[in-house]
Amino acid sequence: SYELTQPPSVSVSPGQTASITCSGNKLGDKYVCWYQQNPGQSPVLVIYQDDKRPSGIPERFSGSNSGNTATLTIAGTQAMDEADYYCQTWDSNIGVVFGGGTKLTVL
């Protein structure tokens, strides 16, 4: 099997930079996506192929992936960014894998 590990929670002050990590064996050799999910809503793709933003996603969202860790960075975090965030990859042996999710709190 293949597992992605995320911290359960991350806190950030408004206007500061939030970093959410996602760890997996040789994750840097795979493509990583990130999703934002607000309570009661469907997930939204915010980063794909490690560091690309879909149209409509603010520039303050960025991603990186190297070694065993991928990171979602939110610069100038706003109250509206408070949500659950999930990393995801495709493992050639088992298919799509999600991380356990990180609750981002803006306080």
Contact footprint for other proteins (CB under 8 A): 1, 30-31, 33, 35, 37, 42-45, 48-49, 54, 84, 86, 88-92, 94-101
d(CA 27, CA 23): 7
Nearer to other proteins, 61 or 86 (CB): 86
Helix (DSSP H) and strand (DSSP E) numbers for the chain: 0, 9
CB of 85 to other proteins, least distance (A): 11
**Alpha helices, DSSP H, located in 32-105:** none
79 SS3 class: helix
d(CA 1, CA 18): 30
CB of 14 to other proteins, least distance (A): 26
Nearer to other proteins, 42 or 107 (CB): 42
CB of 25 to other proteins, least distance (A): 14
